[in-house]
Amino acid sequence: MGSQVEEVKSKVDIVSLLSEYIDLKKAGRNYKANCPFHGEKTPSFMVSPELQIYKCFGCSESGDIFEFLQKHEGMDFGEALKYLADKVGVKLATYSSTKSTEREKIIAINHSVLNFYNYILHKHANGKKILEYLKKDRGLDDETIEKFQLGFSPDSPGILYKYLVDKKGYKAEDLKKAGLFVGGFKNYDRFGGRVVFPLMDHRDNIVGFSGRILPWVKQDRAKYINSPETAAYSKSKILYGLNIVKADIRNAKSAVVVEGELDMISSYKNGIKNVVAIKGSALSEEQIRLISRFCSKIVFCLDSDFAGDAAAKRGVIMAENQGMEVRVARLTNFKDPDDAARGNIEEYKKDLDEAVGVWDFLVDSVFEKNDLSSTGKAKISREVVSILSLISDSIVQAHFVEVVARRLSVPAESVAAQLNKGKTAEGQSGGVLPEKQLVAQKPRKQLLEEQLVALFLLFSPEKLKDTETLKLFSTPFVQRVIDEIKKVGDIKNLKVGEFFSNLPKELQGKFSELLLVDLEEDEISLVLNELKILKLRHLLETLSVKIAQSERNGNDSDLTRHQKKFAKVAKKLSVLEDGQ
């Protein structure tokens, strides 16, 4: 299997692969983009076609084609390998991975389950009343029901289990892992008596289900239930409908986020195509990253008390602080997007168009529920300061300090002072810590040596066997790299990618960082010159100490020798510095 992994890797170009997910731009010998793993406005994500690796210099995420798919697409290694092998036409021997096998089995089982639910809804007598309900009461048509593959689970214990075991040949332990059954799991279908919505990831894999109770059923049961967390399904990683609307979101350059499946389906059916649904009102970090692959703007249209929902607020603030444009829509005359889409689609669209920025929405919500009496102002102060403290952009924060001050009729300095009281010991508003602590700067000489060895490798590898050039390098890491270079036979035709793959593993990480920096050939003379200057300055410092020591000891011969050498070195230094 190892040789097949390498075969797949050799046939997939990392630049071509990553270009399917992010907007890469040429940067010298490398490519750069905004990092897909954290919010940023200035590109720090670098891709090397020579090394076939990527690295973000902002959040430190790094890896190869397999690791990118694992981190970006949520695949495990087996899935990533199979996906890429299929892409380049490599027929794999059986790959054994417990996790991937379990996930694949669950997806296969779910596919059979969905076929069963579809059959009951469309072909069985039990489904007739359900279809009428979906069309007449919920306003759906055949095309929409088919597009979203809705089904129905009959309230008949044992029927689904019998179908899956006797007809399809699945094992009981695999059905248990899929989370399909409850109450002595082989007896009762978890979704029995419900309309069923298949939950798919953005690659069309059926990872789980959601079931909605019917209005004529006793309402002592939960309105919605979902598959439990399995090897295939995690609610924080799924956006309902994304597999269908990816292109619509890209074209609109924004995503409307609603809460439930019917909110999403009704919106889509009535003309709002760039819409996805989340489970509940809280957007997760994984879901934010998923949306950011397709657009940079999110419009929330939720039917819960969003302003009073701490988890929901955390999600939207996280999206805002990760560089997304976040807006919140209020429905004028309807309780939820499903009602709005079926009641007055033009008014619904107008509400979305008039969505306000998240900070405007949160600040407004505080003022709306409190009066401007002295007691009310105290409440507003407490609540609004906690909101302002979450704004990571200092200019935006300063703007809202002014807004709040005007609305409270107090000086902006008073609001700012109250805000500063809430700062943590680390000096970060609201206790929000930076993603990465500042890293200690490397000594200048070490930086120059690393940069120079990278420049020589890329543009003039033969210089790395020149005796005089090698005298410039003294830091341990660079010395180790040079030791590896000395082992190369044909240095003039050195292939950087091949050299990198043959390096000891402990050197590869740091070495890749050097080559992922955007370097140009004309930098060689500048770096070389500065390194020589540093070396001569260090030599002068050493000679100064020796001269002083010779004077103290009264050793005239050593003094003369050191002074002559000092003068010679000083002259060299002067020439180099004049040439800068």
Q: Are residues 560 and 539 in the same domain?
A: yes
User: Would you say residue 106 lies in a domain?
Assistant: yes
Q: How many CB atoms lie within 10 A of CB 449?
A: 24
Say which DSSP state 48 is in.
E
Tell which residue, 531, 511, 513, 512, has the closest CA to residue 523: 531
> Which candidate, 335, 340, 345, places its Cα nearest to that of 305?
335
Last residue of a domain, one of 187, 206, 233: 233
pTM: 0.69
Q: Which secondary-structure segment (H or E) carries 359?
A: helix 358-368
Res 437: pLDDT: 33
The amino acid sitting at 493 is: N
pLDDT under 70 in the chain at which residues?
1-2, 94-100, 184-186, 219, 303-308, 422-442, 579-580
Residue 152, φ and ψ in degrees, nearest 5: -140, 135
Parallel, antiparallel, or unpaired: how do β-strands 30-33 and 25-27 relate? antiparallel
Q: Are residues 161 and 179 in the same domain?
A: yes
The secondary structure element, H or E, covering residue 473 is none
- Residue ending a domain, choose from 301, 327, 357: 357
CB atoms within 10 A of CB 300: 25
From residue 68, give the alpha-carbon distance in Å to each of 17, 57, 144, 344.
Answer: 10, 15, 35, 43
Task: List the structure tokens of 7.
Answer: 């075969």
Same domain (yes/no): 515, 549: no
d(CA 517, CA 124): 63
Q: In whole angstroms, how far apart are CA 311 and each of 127, 240, 280, 316?
A: 38, 19, 10, 9
Beta-strand relationship, 275-277 and 297-300? unpaired
pLDDT of 491 reads: 79
At residue 367, what are phi and psi to the nearest 5 degrees? -70, -35
For residue 31, give every residue at least 6 positions away whose Cβ sits within 8 Å of its Cβ, in sequence order, or none.
15, 18, 24, 25, 46, 47, 49
Cα–Cα distance between 547 and 570 in angstroms, integer?
14
State the total domains in the chain: 6
Beta strands 297-300 and 325-328, pairing class: parallel
CATH code of the domain containing 58: 3.90.580.10
Per-residue pLDDT tens over the stretch 343-402: 999 999 999 999 999 899 989 888 988 888 878 888 888 888 888 888 878 888 899 999
CA–CA dist 496, 488 (Å, integer): 11
Clarify whether residues 216 and 113 are in a common domain.
Answer: yes
Residues 6+ apart with CB under 8 A from 532: 472, 576
530 and 515 in one domain?
Answer: no
The token pair at 559 is 């003094």
Q: What is the pLDDT of residue 180?
A: 92
Q: Do the domain assignments include residue 112?
A: yes
For residue 48, tell me if it sits in a domain: yes
Hey, is 490 helix, strand or coil? coil
- Which DSSP category does 24 fall into? -
One domain, residues 478 and 515: yes
For residue 185, give every residue at least 6 positions away whose Cβ sits within 8 Å of its Cβ, in sequence order, or none.
Answer: 175, 176
What span, in angstroms and rounded, lies between the C-alpha atoms of 426 and 434? 10
Using only C-alpha atoms, what is the Rg of the chain? 32
Residue 362 lies in a domain: no
pLDDT at site 2: 62
- 328 in the same domain as 226: no
Residue 400 CB partners (closer than 8 Å, separation 6+): 359, 363, 388, 391
How far is residue 260's CA from residue 133's CA, in Å, rounded to a whole number? 18
Residues contacting 436, CB < 8 A, separation 6+? 58, 59, 60
CB 253 within 8 A of CB 295: yes
Asked whether residue 93 is domain-assigned, the answer is no
Residues 57, 155, single domain; the answer is: no
DSSP designation for 291: H
**Per-residue pLDDT at 507:** 85
Residue that has been written with the tokens 């979101």 in this structure: 249
Are both 405 and 460 inside the same structural domain? Answer: no
Q: Are residues 333 and 457 in the same domain?
A: no
CATH number of residue 299's parent domain: 3.40.1360.10
The answer to whether residue 109 sits within a structural domain is: yes
Supply the pLDDT for residue 308: 64
**Together in a domain, 245 and 301:** yes
Is the CB of residue 2 less than 8 Å from the CB of residue 79? no
Distance set, CA 351 to CA 262, 304, 318, 564 (Å): 19, 16, 23, 83
**What are the helix (H) ranges across 409-443?**
412-421
| CA angle (548 as vertex; 545, 552 as ends), nearest 5 | 135
**Residues 352, 329 contacting (CB under 8 angstroms):** yes
Taking CA 390 as the corner, what is the angle to CA 384 and CA 396, rounded to the nearest 5 degrees?
85
Q: Looking at residue 240, what DSSP letter applies?
A: B
- Residue 305: its pLDDT value, please? 64
Which string of DSSP letters, residue by residue, matches 184-228? STTSEETTTTEEEEEEE-TT--EEEEEEEE-TTS-TTS-SEEEPP
Both 115 and 228 in a single domain?
Answer: yes
Residue 318, C-beta contacts closer than 8 angstroms, at least 6 positions apart: 283, 285, 288
The last residue of one of the domains, among 88, 115, 133, is 88
Q: Tokens 């295939």 appear where?
A: 232
Q: What CATH number has the domain bearing residue 193?
A: 3.90.980.10
Rounded distance between C-alpha atoms, residue 31 and residue 16, angstroms: 11
Residue 349 lies in a domain: yes
Assigned domain for 536 exists: yes
Residue pair 328/356 in contact (Cβ under 8 Å)? The answer is: yes
**Boundaries of domain holding 539:** 526-578
- For residues 266 and 337, the answer to whether their CB atoms sit within 8 Å is yes
